[in-house]
Amino acid sequence: MDGSSTRDPKAMHSFAEFYPFYLSEHRNPTCRRLHFLGSTLVLVCLALLLTTGQLRFVLYALLCGYGFAWIGHFVFEKNRPASFKRPLYSFMGDWVMYRDIWTGKVPF
C-alpha cells in the first residue's frame, strides 16, 4: 500500500483521505474475511430484527460485527482496530470495504 498506515488517522479530514489508511490496516486476508463474515452476519441479524421485532438481534448484530473484526485485528492483523482511532470513519470503512470485496476491488 502507500504507507498511509504511518499517518495519524485523527489528522485526516475526510473519509476519502481515511479509507486508504483503513485498507492498510486490513492487509491480512483472514482479517478481511472475518470482517466480511461479521458484516454479513450483521445484515442477517438486522433482517431478523425487522422480521421478528425482537430487539435481541441488535445485540447479536453488534457482537457479530465487532467480535469477528476484533478477532481479525488482534489475532491475525496484530493491530488495534481502526474503530479505536476514528469510530465513524471506521464504521463507514467497514461497509465500503464490504462493498469493495463484493465488487472485486478489494481481494477476498
Please indicate, yes or no, if residue 107 is contained in any of the structural domains. Answer: yes
Q: What is the pLDDT along the chain (108 residues), one digit of tens a residue?
A: 444 445 788 889 999 999 999 999 999 999 999 999 999 999 999 999 999 999 999 999 999 999 999 999 999 999 988 788 899 999 999 999 999 999 999 999
d(CA 30, CA 72): 7
Nearest in space to 37 (alpha carbons), one of 78, 89, 104, 94: 94
Residue 18, domain member (yes or no): no
Number of structural domains found in the chain: 1
Q: Are 89 and 12 in contact (CB under 8 A)?
A: yes
pTM: 0.88
As given in the structure block, the three cell numbers for residue 24 are: 492498510
The pLDDT of residue 94 is 96
Q: 89 lies in which domain range? A: 39-108
